[in-house]
Amino acid sequence: MFELAERIKKLPPYLFAELDEMKAKKEREGIRVIDFGVGDPDLPTPEHVVQEMKRAVEKIENQKYPSYAGKMEFREAVSEFYKRRKGVDVEPENIISLIGSKEGIAHLPLAFVENGDYVLYTEPGYPVYHSSAIFAGGVPYELPLKEENDYLPDFDSIPDDVIRKAKILFLNYPNNPTTAVAEMDFIKESVDFCNDNRIILAHDAAYSEIAFDYKPRSFLECDGAFECVIEFGSLSKTYNMTGWRVGYALGNDGALDGLLKVKTNVDSGVFNAVQDAAITALRGDDSVIDQNNEIYKKRRDVLVEGLSKLGFCVEKPKATFYVWLKVGASSIEFARKLLDEAGVLVTPGIGFGRSGEGYVRFALTRDVSVIEEALQRMEGLEIVHQ
């Protein structure tokens, strides 16, 4: 038996792997599980993007090693997308391609964090923020997101000695899992905090285009942002391309240079054919995004209305394709009982961090008819009325 490295032993069990096992166990028992767990869109990748991929994969030039930083045309397409959707001018030279935004987030601390340095991150949140700090030898420092603070972190609560040794702050808005959104006053506060303390602000904007009653903002819109912000974008949720593994980082040139140095040593870039397909998506008609949002909005309304009728107090999220539900009980116990008694799988909030206890997350990645069936299964369950 080989001994695992201490950095691996420090990692908590990966939440979604545990959910997969819970689901598999019920299915082995013959239960058809309705899965609201992992945020993987059920909607197909747009057909014009798929067709471009088919064409691109046959091109001999695409079968070679790609550029580490990404094809210039891809970077230009991201630049155009940001100008069109956010009103932000970003030079293509200040953009790099990623094998999905998760890859870039995970690698960033390796470029800047020394043993004992702090990595600030919000929790509940995407587990990669915490694990990336550990892999780099850093110390993860959690900033709790509380309902009473609109799920925004309190920078004044961070001790001075932590701030002095902090290298990176991870933020994520629209937020997974809380669905919270960030207005410009908070964005400015975050940028000013990081500039004042020479901290890289790493903004995970994976859900930047999924919104209903709110226009998501890029942190790069703020004055002074290019002095500290590196923003991570993804085609996964925007264009239903989770399996394609393509994203991008843009913003501060120093942060990008550091990340690219890591990437040149650990990967060989994004397959050129995938980049060609991504270019087609980014330069395509934005009605694709609007249509997706209409579908998610209808699902949101059905789920929120149904949960309210079951006795839960739940607000309609303004963005993301999640519903963050306060259950007033152990999130793991609630999720287990819901799976056992109704065959409905949700994500326990504790899996996203300590502040997620007492909540569960529903992903709006199931058709309205399936959501209605799940709500029917939940009727009369004792856990619903606790």
pLDDT digits (tens, 9 = 90+) for 346-382: 999 999 999 999 999 999 999 999 999 999 999 977 7
Contacts of 335 (CB under 8 A, 6+ apart): 345, 346, 347, 348, 360
Q: What string of H, E and C letters represents the secondary structure of 127-183?
A: HHHHHHHHHCCCEEEEEECCHHHCCCCCHHHCCHHHHHCEEEEEECCCCCCCCCCCC
Going from N- to C-terminal start, the domains of the chain cover: 6-44+287-385, 47-282
pLDDT at 149: 96
Read off the pLDDT band of 19 (50, 70, 90). Answer: confident
- Which pLDDT tens digit goes with each residue over 265-275? 999 999 999 99
Residue 97 structure tokens: 């391609």
- One-letter amino acid for residue 324 of the chain: W
Mean pLDDT of 290-301: 97
Whole-number average pLDDT of the chain: 94
Query: What is the arithmetic mean of pLDDT over 234-253?
Result: 97
At residue 162, the pLDDT reads: 98
Domain 47-282 listed as CATH 3.40.640.10: yes
Does the pLDDT at position 386 exceed 60?
no
pLDDT for res 17: 74
Region 46-75 average pLDDT = 97
**298: pLDDT confidence band, cut at 50, 70 and 90?**
very high
The mean pLDDT of 65-90, rounded to a whole number, is 97
Query: Rounded to whole angstroms, how far apart are CA atoms 366 and 43?
Result: 9
Which position has the token pair 């959104």?
181
Residue 384 pLDDT level (bands cut at 50, 70, 90): low
Q: How many residues in total does the chain contain?
A: 386
Q: What is the pLDDT of residue 24?
A: 87
Please give the pLDDT value at position 216.
Answer: 87
The confidence score (pLDDT) of residue 338 equals 94
C-alpha dihedral (39, 42, 370, 308), degrees to nearest 10:
40
Binning pLDDT at 50, 70 and 90, where does residue 12 land? Answer: confident
* pLDDT for position 380: 78
Between 177 and 10, residue with greater pLDDT: 177
The structure tokens listed for 249 are 């980082």
% of the chain beyond a pLDDT of 90: 87
Q: Please report the beta strands in the chain, taking only residues with DSSP state E, as ranges in sequence order.
A: 34-35, 95-98, 118-123, 139-144, 166-171, 200-204, 229-234, 247-251, 322-326, 344-345, 347-348, 359-363
How does pLDDT run across 180-213, given as a tens digit for each residue?
A: 999 999 999 999 999 999 999 999 999 999 999 8
In CATH terms, 6-44+287-385 corresponds, of 3.90.1150.10, 3.30.1330.20, 3.40.50.2300, 3.40.50.880, to 3.90.1150.10
Question: What pLDDT sits at residue 15?
Answer: 66
The pLDDT, as a whole number, for residue 381 is 79
- Is the confidence at residue 385, as pLDDT, over 70? no
According to DSSP, the β-strands at 344-345 and 34-35 are parallel
Residue 236 — pLDDT band, cuts 50, 70, 90?
very high
Stretch 70-84: mean pLDDT: 98
CA 266, CA 244: separation in Å to the nearest integer?
Answer: 19
In 3D, which of 126, 168, 173 has the Cα closest to residue 353?
126
The whole-angstrom separation of Cα 258 and Cα 380 is 55
Give the single-character DSSP code of 348: E
Average pLDDT over residues 84-91: 96
